[in-house]
């Protein structure tokens, strides 16, 4: 494992009134790592992720993303990250190419780069035939792959993926993970939340959140050993069973 830390949090917390969505979470993520961020519904994953992306201001604690402070330097952070939310978030009334052009443009890529990377991306995903179609007309799996590729178009240092494969068929999911691996090989750090435990096995390291706190953090291998079970699914059950908050 390389030593360069691209995400570092210390006692990061978020309160909504009396409710503590995130309670003093501390962890580190290294460059090129695929970091799985697990937890039951309502455990606080999305809240934590939104803080890291600069969408939501933390209540207390410290964190740096790619070396930048999440309180003061959110704008610098935004240039270096990619984000794909739970809700599909490309423009459905723009075509594949137009979405690429738009997002490339707002991340400051040159016309040349947009053209080149867009073409590359379309070839890679095999979308050449539908490049001019409206995104709204594509099947969900294609949309998700496209959204991932668009999120990594500007070569971010870190990509945040919030349940990227929800509702996607197994074949497409597999292809999706191929994309993630390819990104990781290029040195992009991938921070991903998921509910699929087979996907958790693909991660280099995973953390498991319960009731707003990180209860476990290690490689899938070590976690299985630590809890003396055969699969990540059982690790998850062991931890989530004690949860106070009900899933939704």
Residues of this chain that bind another protein (CB under 8 A): 53-57, 74-75, 78-79, 81, 83, 85, 87-94, 98, 101-103, 105-108, 160
User: Rounded to the nearest whole angstrom, what is the least distance from the CB of residue 203 to another protein in the complex?
Assistant: 22
Show the beta-strand stretches assigned E in the chain: 5-16, 19-30, 34-39, 60-65, 68-69, 81-84, 158-162, 189-193, 205-210, 213-218
Minimum CB distance to another protein smaller for 29 or for 208: 29
Minimum CB distance to another protein smaller for 101 or for 218: 101
User: Rounded to the nearest whole angstrom, what is the least distance from the CB of residue 207 to another protein in the complex?
Assistant: 21
Q: What crossing angle do the helices spanning 111-125 and 140-151 adopt, rounded to 10°?
A: 140
C-alpha to C-alpha distance for 142 and 39, rounded to whole angstroms: 26
User: Rounded to the nearest whole angstrom, what is the least distance from the CB of residue 243 to another protein in the complex?
Assistant: 26
DSSP character at residue 134: B
Minimum CB distance to another protein smaller for 9 or for 46: 46
Minimum CB distance to another protein smaller for 133 or for 222: 133
User: Rounded to the nearest whole angstrom, what is the least distance from the CB of residue 46 to another protein in the complex?
Assistant: 11
Distances (CA, A) of 36 to 4, 106, 119, 191, 240: 18, 28, 30, 6, 16
Minimum CB distance to another protein smaller for 105 or for 170: 105
Q: Which two tokens stand for residue 247?
A: 């899933």
User: Rounded to the nearest whole angstrom, what is the least distance from the CB of residue 97 to another protein in the complex?
Assistant: 11
3-class DSSP assignment, residue 40: coil
């Amino acid at each position: 494992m390389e030593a360069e830390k691209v995400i570092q949090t210390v006692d990061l917390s978020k309160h909504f009134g009396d409710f503590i969505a995130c309670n003093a979470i501390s962890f580190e993520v290294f460059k090129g790592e695929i970091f799985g961020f697990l937890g039951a519904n309502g455990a606080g994953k999305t809240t934590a992720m939104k803080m890291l992306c600069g969408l939501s201001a933390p209540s207390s604690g410290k964190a740096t993303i790619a070396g930048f402070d999440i309180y003061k330097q959110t704008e610098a952070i935004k240039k270096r990250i990619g984000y794909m939310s739970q809700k599909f978030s490309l423009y459905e009334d723009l075509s594949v190419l137009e979405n690429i052009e738009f997002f490339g443009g707002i991340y400051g890529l040159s016309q040349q780069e947009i053209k080149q990377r867009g073409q590359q991306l379309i070839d890679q995903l095999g979308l050449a035939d539908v490049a001019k179609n409206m995104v709204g007309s594509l099947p969900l799996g294609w949309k998700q792959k496209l959204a991932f590729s668009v999120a990594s178009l500007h070569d971010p240092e870190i990509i945040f993926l919030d349940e990227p494969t929800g509702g996607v068929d197994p074949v497409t999911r597999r292809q999706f993970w191929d994309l993630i691996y390819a990104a990781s090989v290029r040195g992009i750090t991938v921070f991903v939340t998921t509910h699929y435990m087979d996907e958790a096995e693909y991660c280099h390291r995973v953390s498991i959140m319960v009731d707003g706190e990180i209860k476990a953090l290690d490689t899938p291998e070590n976690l299985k050993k630590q809890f003396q079970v055969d699969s990540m699914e059982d690790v998850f059950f062991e931890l989530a069973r004690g949860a106070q908050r009900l899933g939704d």
